[in-house]
Amino acid sequence: MTTAVETLREEPLTIGGRTFQSRLMVGTGKYPDMDTMVRAIEASGADVVTVAVRRVNLDRSKESSVLHFLDPKKIFLLANTAGCYTAADAIRYARLARAGFNDFVKLEVIGDEETLLPDVVGLLEAAKVLVQEGFKVLAYTNEDLVTALRLEDAGCAAVMPLASPIGSGLGLLNPYSVRTIKRRLHVPVIVDAGVGTASDACVTMEQGVDGILMNTAIAAAQDPVAMAQAMRLATIAGRAAYLAGRMPRREVAMPSSPTRGMLD
């Protein structure tokens, strides 16, 4: 006799009407060189890759943009508004990015220089304007449920709570909050920022979130290409464990071997 157990079925990740193969998304910053970056992105299996918008350096006009190294047929470019501290600046950067390639934007409005934590008031304001203009907004936010709900109400295509501060490598500090956000939202929840190593990625995916975005954990590893591969596997493992459904936690032991049939 088999017992029918209801398990979760895997579904493709769709954001703003676009479907993606990998649940791991990666950044392109802080790599020691472009060749390492290209090989790390390849090893990560990511099909969404983030880039930043910056002034061209006029004294070194031959300097190539990062796009030169990325194959738009293989990867989907997601511009961020990193470095913006006001809604107005973030909106301006998003519009520039759209003129570059697509209408998806990873919206960041930073509120504090030391922690790079988001300014949720500015974030909501910018999100509303950009959604109105037809952008697919993926909003980088903290792990606050109410802000996440407001961002969803504002029409964001995805909400991106942090695991811990950008570039900190502290891992998932508040699994409960991230899990709650995932449970309550209908749009995809992509954890962005803060993972340090593969176990962090795995634990994050085990919360049931739809994906994870990281940059420094790969770029600042001693061997970025090897770490990218580890992150790819950890993301898959964490997702698979979530879908499998973990055993309940107990405060006391329970033997795995029979207690009957022991010798006198």
Partner 1 sequence: MDVVINGERKQIRGGTLLDVLSELELDPRAVVVEHNRKIVRRAGLGGVQINEGDALELVHFVGGG
* Catalytically active residues, by annotation: 106
**Contacts with partner 1 in 189-208 (CB under 8 A)?**
193
73 binds partner 1 (CB under 8 A): no
Count of Cβ atoms closer than 10 Å to residue 247 Cβ: 6
| Cα–Cα distance for residue pair 5/46, rounded to 1 Å | 32
Give the residue, chosen from 30, 74, 183, 184, that forms a contact with partner 1 under the rule CB under 8 A: 30
> Is residue 131 helix, strand or coil?
helix
| Cα–Cα distance for residue pair 175/201, rounded to 1 Å | 12
Across the strands, what pairs with 190? 211
CB of 112 to partner 1, least distance (A): 17
27 binds partner 1 (CB under 8 A): yes
Give the residue, chosen from 31, 104, 135, 242, that forms a contact with partner 1 under the rule CB under 8 A: 31
CB 107 within 8 A of CB 126: yes
CB of 52 to partner 1, least distance (A): 3
Give the residue, chosen from 48, 82, 110, 198, that forms a contact with partner 1 under the rule CB under 8 A: 82
CB of 120 to partner 1, least distance (A): 19
- Spatial strand order in the sheet of 76-80: 76-80, 104-107, 136-141, 158-161
Name the CA radius of gyration of the chain, rounded: 20
Q: Which of the ranges 63-71, 121-129, 145-153, 204-212 carries the binding residues for partner 1, by CB under 8 A?
A: 63-71
Half-sphere exposure of 132 (CA within 13 A, CB side): 7
Q: Per the structure block, which two tokens stand in for 78?
A: 């997601």
Give the residue, chosen from 55, 186, 246, 250, that forms a contact with partner 1 under the rule CB under 8 A: 55
124 binds partner 1 (CB under 8 A): no
**Longest CA–CA separation in the chain, Å:** 87
> Is residue 219 helix, strand or coil?
helix
CB of 12 to partner 1, least distance (A): 24
54 binds partner 1 (CB under 8 A): yes
Q: How many residues bind partner 1 (CB under 8 A)?
A: 37
Which stretches of the chain bind partner 1, using CB under 8 A?
27-31, 37, 50-56, 58, 61-62, 64-68, 77, 79-80, 82, 95-97, 99-100, 166-167, 193, 213-216
